[in-house]
Structure 1
Amino acid sequence: MNALNVAEYTHTLGLQAKTASALMAKAPAAIKNKALLALARLLREQTEALQVDNARDLERARAAGLAEPMVDRLKLTPKVLETCAQGCEQLAAMADVIGEIIGMKQQPSGIRVGQMRVPIGVFGMIYESRPNVTIEAASLSIKSGNACILRGGSEAIDSNRALAKLVQQALAEAGLPQDAVQLVQTTDREAVGQLIAMPQFVDVIIPRGGKGLIERISRDAKVPVIKHLDGNCHTYVDDPCDIAMAVKVADNAKTHKYSPCNASEGLLVARGVAAAFLPQIGAVYAAKGVEMRGCPESLAILQSVAGAKLVAATEQDWSEEYLAPIISVKVVAGVDEAIAHINHYSSHHTDAILTRDHMHAQQFLREVDSASVMVNASTRFADGFEFGLGAEIGISTDKFHARGPVGIEGLTSLKYVVLGEGEVRA
């Protein structure tokens, strides 16, 4: 497409989405749920066919020399597709929040004032790599009564097209407008520039991908953006703690999967338990090939671990999102220093404390300035599906409108409603 054609194309997508959003906003819950259940069924029925489309993307990615963690993000395995299907079913089973009125209060004048939850309208989603985001975004859009325009990465174009086709089939089965979920069919980057500059059609943009993409969209967008830039998450092992539990959780937080933004990139260990804990977690990481970039105190303890990959940490390591089998390790005096380190270096995504001390846990929850803060649990749980949201549109480290995993409520707004019986203002 040339620039003019791309502009015309995205304008058409915007107009169609705006029209569809009015129909979605008034769609009954039963109809939206029917579309979600149809989508879950289609995902299961078409698992084999979807993997054929996905294989073309994987082949192209490897031929282009894409790093293996990035190739991993592209995979539509049967397990990934089943999780998507379950997410649709979980959403369908949830109460419909659209039209819900909260906080209704009688005022001295006699009027009653409350707030009604309503769809945002149209959101644009720009994402890289993971094609399952197509289903997460579409299903949340349907449940929340919105319309959406999805622009996936060129590396997943065949997978995304196949998935978007199933979404539109499910919408049609339920009697909803197919234009409620539209995938940008061109890989021309100009389409992104057009999409983020259409406030007449698009109410909010949600970028999901690398730091460069999100910085560009935040800089150039002419509509509001829900974003997170980095996933530099931390696990802090406190004194006192259950050492065996801490080893299990710190292992999962790092090695369950290296590529997601909720994997722990930093391990902080209280000095009082460092000698007992570090050799044990060090042996686990060494067996799995995880490189440990440590402070001098942690490296001195880890030296005894057979086969350990040890590197002296630099200042940059404390801020790094590795998305790889690498973790920074630092011994700290205790909970105060751990909180100070996290608030200084983290990306305010997800941070966890492993402790037996209730007061330390409460202090950590109150003082760590992150979108998700956890006690005695793996940072890998920072996920819309795991939080019971059905699915997530992304993780927000913003403080306004939506923070943390963004589910149905994050795709809605509140408007004031006033109920009276003929009152007039004195």
Structure 2
Amino acid sequence: MYDEADVPPYTLPDPLRTLDGRRVTSARDWPARRAELLELFRTHVYGRRPAAASHARHRFRVVEEDPAAMDGAATLKRVRISTDHNGRTHAFEVVLFVPNAVAGPVPVFLLLNNRGPENTDPTRATISPFWPAEQVVARGYAIAALQVRDLAPDDPDTFTDGVIGLFEREGRTRPADAWAALSAWGWGGSRALDYVETDDALDATRVAVVGHSRGGKAALWAGAEDERFALVVSNDSGAGGAALSRRIFGETVAEVNTTFPHWFCRGFQRFNGAEDELPVDQHELIALLAPRAVAVGSADEDLWADPRGEFLSLAHASPVYALFGREPIPTDAMPALDDPLRVLPRQYHIRRGGHDLTTQDWGCYTDLADRLWG
């Protein structure tokens, strides 16, 4: 059962207080503080992508195109994205549906799919509420998906077999801040966005990166690392995602690092049972998205993800959004069930039910996009 009395007292780090003690008071001074926070998260939580991964060249090939998909409502594209490095190649696929009834470049919702590929079936023989492509296309948006396991297997023994291994020498000892699975998944999201920039049917300035659970953790980090994402969507992302670590409620730092040691960098394990020693907390991850749009979704039965902690992260990022003239989200403004709170460009909703990404959640996210992008 949920009981807020189970949450210990805690003090959050100030996202506007620099490492040398100065306070950021203007949007002009935010980029330098943002860079500090990024380095702290890279060092202590998500790991550092190697320079070669950031500067590699990529190739895009449309391996299938069907302009009459969804009974003529959409054009299907399956895109192979390949990266070459030191004589080796890594490749993964993006599935994409573009609405045919909308003129001009259209915005895109990109899912970092942490479930099986049947959930994003390009043939539509299987239609999953986890990725309701027909619903999103009918709203006038393109919808895309990649399989996170194609970037890094979701396994502690093999997670370096994907793109991580492409950029690392075999047998080399991995440093404590080496990138791990979540960062690799987010890197794949950025490569999908690289493709979007080449496709005249798509609007690369209006791309939402979406993730559920572990995929939501990856989506938040993808949005922090890559400022081209206009909207970042975290659905039930919990510990290491939207939920405040210092609340020590539901999934904790120790539990996530013990059960899934391949998600975060090895240095994060130093804070198992020592959340108060973390130099950052997750409200600062959300602050890294400012002044862009962010949507956080929770479910009332999903206590493991700490819905209250997810909401509070969004609220406690308010001082950074205020630098850009955005209204604050009060910490006592957590909305009622099924009644989204929108303080543009941010949104929070909590729905009835358990740990899942549903058509109701997708409806909330496309509703926000309507308000942001018309």
- Confirm or deny a common fold (TM above 0.5): no
Higher relative contact order (CA 8 A, sep 6+): 1
Structure 1 or 2: more helix by fraction:
1
Q: Which has the larger radius of gyration?
A: 1
